[in-house]
Structure 1
Amino acid sequence: MALEEYRNKRNFSETPEPSGSKRPRPRHAAPIFVVQKHRARALHYDFRLEIDGVLASWAVPKGPSLSPDDKRLAMQTEDHPVEYADFEGVIPDRQYGAGTMLVWDRGTFEIGEGGTAGDQLARGRLSFLLKGEKLRGAFVLLRAGAAGEGRQWLLIKRSDEHADRLWKIDRFDGSVLSGRTLEDIDGGRAPGSSDKKRSGR
């Protein structure tokens, strides 16, 4: 099962994360992507692409960038259920990935030339076009080392009209889902009640 590792790592009687029990989205629907800002043992960004009915996932320590000059390390993690794209909240202590999470960006994507998303993923080179609220344009994920080996990848923005060599991720700290920051979520602030909505470009 694609989600076996995900489920084995979590106690769903303790964590508010989804178990992945919902039916897959319609096949004709445009595939989604989501980036979740996650303050766990260390702050990072979880980058997820919907591929073959699950969210293929990478932890990006410095977060994605719109600058083609940046090559962001992306550590591949276990697949997540598609409904995880809407998850925002606090994962309790002593649970896998304990910490606070918000939906930093989301949207749809188109796969680039070179075969299906699954085929490209297996070969270690995945080209795609993001249509998000913060991230837009062409990107590539490259596996470090020989194809089929290891979990280290590089997430790179390609040069196009959406590229921004002055990109600073800290300018965009809020949730596109609720407008909240990590501090808002920690403080139990309700969606839409943040003093400043810091989710825009």
Structure 2
Amino acid sequence: MSLKEYNQKRNFNSTAEPEGEIKKSTSELIFVVQKHAASHLHYDFRLEMDGVLKSWAIPKGPSMNPADKRLAIMVEDHPYSYKDFEGTIPEGNYGAGNVIVWDNGTYTLADYKNTGDLETKLKSDLQKGHLSFNLSGKKLKGEFVLVKLKTKQENTWLLIKSKDQYAIDEDVLQQDKSVLSDMTLEDLENKPKKIHKIESF
């Protein structure tokens, strides 16, 4: 997988974001959700796949309510090491604003039977535009589905919570603190020059 677009968009002399390199988990695949106060507040949902983090920007954030269908715009691949990035992207840089790790954990494909190559299955499902997976996070749990919409914009998807024992009506976004540092975006706003990089896996 290429990280060329990610690297081209960033000046690593002025942002503490990690430079793009291919890397994989040693055991379970990871996911991360970063809350990002850029020009517009949104949540970046990322799934480890083939050495990178496949990434979707979700304007309204993920939901644990199956009735909610969240628009998810697929963006450029991010490096595996981005999973721990918290801090402030300085003005003048792509995506300038504050970032916290809102949730993280591991994930598995919902219909994977431990037969065949997992990476091949992941890439096949992504290509088909339908990913069904189980999240084991601190806030997001259970089965979710990412479905690609048939529109003129090829990067438009929906993130939907499946009906299972973890589904709830309450707004999970009210849990607004970082799972790494226990900070909110407002806390970062008061410390705009401090960059937080905390290893979690």
Same fold (TM over 0.5): yes
Match of 1:144 in 2: 149
Question: How big is the shift at 1:163?
Answer: 0.3
Counterpart mapping for 1:16-165 below 5 A: 16-21=16-21, 24-26=23-25, 28-113=26-111, 116-145=121-150, 150-164=154-168
Report the alpha carbon displacement of residue 170 of structure 1 after superposing the two structures with TM: 3.8
In 1: Cα distance, 2:48 partner to 2:54 partner: 6
Say whether the 8 Å CA contact 1:63–1:169 is kept in structure 2. Answer: no
Change (3 A) 1:126 1:170: closer
Residue 64 of structure 1 deviates from its aligned partner by: 0.3
Note the residue ranges of structure 1 that are not aligned, 5 or more in a row.
192-201
SS of corresponding position for 1:161: coil
Report the AA paired with residue 150 of structure 1: E
Matched letter for residue 96 of structure 1: Y
Q: RMSD over aligned Cα, in angstroms?
A: 2.1
Q: TM-score, normalised by structure 2?
A: 0.88
For residues 139-195 of structure 1, the C-alpha deviation after alignment (integer angstroms, 9 at most, x for no partner) is: 00000007xx7000000000000000x22134211100000001111212989xxxx
Question: Offset at 1:118?
Answer: 1.1
Q: CA deviation at 1:25?
A: 2.7
Shift of 1:111: 1.1
1:112 Cα deviation from its structure 2 partner: 2.3
> Partner of 2:171 in structure 1?
168
SS at match of 1:7: helix
Whether contact under 8 Å (1:140, 1:157) holds in the other structure is yes
Higher relative contact order (CA 8 A, sep 6+): 2
AA aligned to 1:20 is: G
- Distance in 2 (CA, whole Å) between partners of 1:40 and 1:52 is 27
- What is the TM-score normalised by the length of structure 1? 0.88
- Aligned residue pairs, count: 188
Question: What is residue 199 of structure 1 aligned with on the other side?
Answer: none
- How many angstroms apart in 2 are the aligned matches of 1:118 and 1:112? 14
State percent identity of aligned pairs.
Answer: 51
What does the per-residue CA deviation read over 1:24-50, in whole Å, with 9 as the maximum and x for residues that have no partner? 135x51000000000000100000000
Question: Which residue, out of 161, 175, 182, partners 1:179?
Answer: 182
**Unmatched 5+ stretches in structure 2:** 113-119, 196-201
Q: Structure 1 residue 62: deviation in Å? A: 0.4
